[in-house]
Structure 1
Amino acid sequence: MLLNISFKVVSLLGVCALSNVAIANEPHNPLSSVDQYDRSEFVDVATLIPTALFDIRYFSGQNFVGEPITGYQAAKCLLHKTAAEGLAKAHTQAQKAGYNFKIYDCYRPQRAVDHFVRWVNDEADTKTKAAYYPNLGKDQLLGGYIAAKSGHSRGSTIDLTLTDAKGEELHMGSLFDMFDPLSNTDDPRITEEQKANRYKLKNIMIAAGFSPYSMEWWHFTYKPQAYPNTYFDFVVQ
């Protein structure tokens, strides 16, 4: 999607622990280390792969926070053009194998990550515990699952799964965004069918230039990242 409104990005350079404290306590992070980039480098993935299924969870309340997330003003998947082109190649291979993509999240504004951090620090809010983190306390979610900075904010990371030709999700052994070792790609408790399905997705994505994340079977990052040291904060619209 071509957008002609200027936006802010936050560089890793000069960001320190005090900045992370500010992120945790404010709805929008007003860091002073800001540069200007061309938003036309980001594209709406639906324009490249219109036959994919889009279930952008953070635009809705169907997510681990239990409400729409700050920074999502549309149910769109935005990616840097290099990652989007790689995803289009992966989608072609998935279709050749008889599958389709269902996409949950793509570019994620820094303000959305700030929303996650506020949620994880609110110990009284546990309404989604049974579905998304049944075996962990919120204090165990920081770090491996939720952090003050997300690779999604760089524009080259995507969360997705595979569906069959009818649009039914393949059995993967855990929900998207389930914070539990069960979501680790090689967790020994999943069935052989579930492991095979995870590896179908993993192998398709790796062949197209994406790197997996062992703790989350749905999470892949295109390499090399266009902006490996930058966290963008423009809204999804």
Structure 2
Amino acid sequence: MSVRTLAAALFAALSFSLSAQAGPLPDGFVHLRAVDPTIVQEMRYYGPHNFIGRPIDGYHAPECILTRPAAEALAKVNAELTASGLRLKVFDCYRPQMSVDHFVRWSKEVADQTMKTAFYPEVNKADFFKLGYVAEKSGHSRGSTVDVTVIPADARAPEIYIEGRTALADCRAPYTQRFRDNGLDFGTDYDCFDPKSHPDSAAVSLVARHNRAMLAELMGKHGFKPLPEEWWHFTLRDEPFPQTFFNFPVVAPQGAPAP
């Protein structure tokens, strides 16, 4: 390879890397922080603190991206929470198809159960497809689905997960014994693959049931519908792209510093 060819290849690779970090979004999509910067973002799939245990393909920045109607509806939910001394926090928003493909590949690697204790303590990984925990398509890829929780407005910083050093706690454990993500008690951690995560589960505390009902009522009031298996998961009823599964990467806003 000539010096000129090598230089061209390096320039192309650098250009791709920079474009992956920040760039324009498809028409109809926005960065949530451009609509409501007060909604807290803890984008779990950008790092290793998730049920796979490593960053997920397609997440090039720890950013929530949504269709504009979903982002604006979420801002209304947050405004009501703020008036009550609370705030909304998002764990996941738009999810590229390439990320879903990563989930599917991982689910077939049955021996890889690094995060079992924390996310699926009593579920056989071989049953993930049958139980619906992993599918080849996700509503998140349509851009109007969010995974959320609620935190106190004056909440202290959440515990920082350090790969290989932070002890894995059972996602169904009592509130004070689970990972301290600074959210209210919803009965289980986020992404806990267990029947206790079902919004109508009677196996969680009265406090958790109250918090689930409060969140569901607010989200429903502003146009979101729940998922029967996950208390944190909501989809805009009138989503603008109900049949389209997008595959652009999650990137930072243009001009934002690299994460």
Q: Which TM-score band applies after superposition, normalised by the shorter structure?
A: 0.7 to 0.9
Instruction: Specify the alignment match of 2:159 in structure 1.
Output: none
Cα RMSD after superposing both structures: 1.3
1:104 is paired with a residue whose SS is strand
Instruction: Specify the alignment match of 1:234 in structure 2.
Output: 248
TM-score by length of 1: 0.83
75, 84, 87: which one aligns with 1:97: 84
Structure 1 segments, 4+ long, off by >2 Å, are 2-5
Distance 2:225 2:107 in 1: 27
Residue identity opposite 2:140 in structure 1: H
Measure how far apart 1:40 and its partner are. Answer: 3.0
1:106-146 CA deviation, whole Å, 9 max, x = no partner?
00000000000011110110111111001110122215221
Asked whether the 8 Å contact 1:157–1:222 carries over to 2, the reply is yes
Instruction: Specify the alignment match of 2:203 in structure 1.
Output: 189
2:210 is paired with a residue whose SS is helix
Instruction: Specify the alignment match of 2:119 in structure 1.
Output: 132
Larger radius of gyration: 2
Greater strand share, 1 or 2?
1
| Length, aligned pairs only | 203
Instruction: Specify the alignment match of 2:93 in structure 1.
Output: 106
2:231 is paired with a residue whose SS is strand
Measure how far apart 1:48 and its partner are. Answer: 1.4
Cα–Cα, structure 1 residues 4 and 191, in superposed 2: closer, same or farther, change >3 Å? closer
219, 224, 230: which one aligns with 2:233: 219
1:231 is paired with a residue whose SS is coil
Instruction: Specify the alignment match of 2:147 in structure 1.
Output: 159
Unaligned runs of 5+ in 1: 6-38
What are the within-5 Å matches in structure 2 for residues 43-54 of structure 1?
43-54=30-41
Instruction: Specify the alignment match of 1:65 in structure 2.
Output: 52
Distance 1:236 1:4 in 2: 11
Distance 1:196 1:4 in 2: 40
TM-score by length of 2: 0.76
1:170-223 CA deviation, whole Å, 9 max, x = no partner?
011111001110100111110000100111111110001000111000000001
Asked whether the 8 Å contact 1:72–1:236 carries over to 2, the reply is yes
Asked whether the 8 Å contact 1:3–1:40 carries over to 2, the reply is no
Instruction: Specify the alignment match of 2:215 in structure 1.
Output: 201
2:110 is paired with a residue whose SS is coil
Instruction: Specify the alignment match of 2:105 in structure 1.
Output: 118
Matched, 1:81 2:95: no
Distance 1:227 1:3 in 2: 21
Residue identity opposite 2:229 in structure 1: M
Percent of aligned positions that are identical: 42
Distance 2:149 2:126 in 1: 28
Instruction: Specify the alignment match of 1:175 in structure 2.
Output: 189
Distance 2:23 2:145 in 1: 20
Matched, 1:149 2:137: yes
1:195 is paired with a residue whose SS is helix
Distance 1:71 1:224 in 2: 26
Asked whether the 8 Å contact 1:141–1:179 carries over to 2, the reply is no
Distance 2:196 2:24 in 1: 42
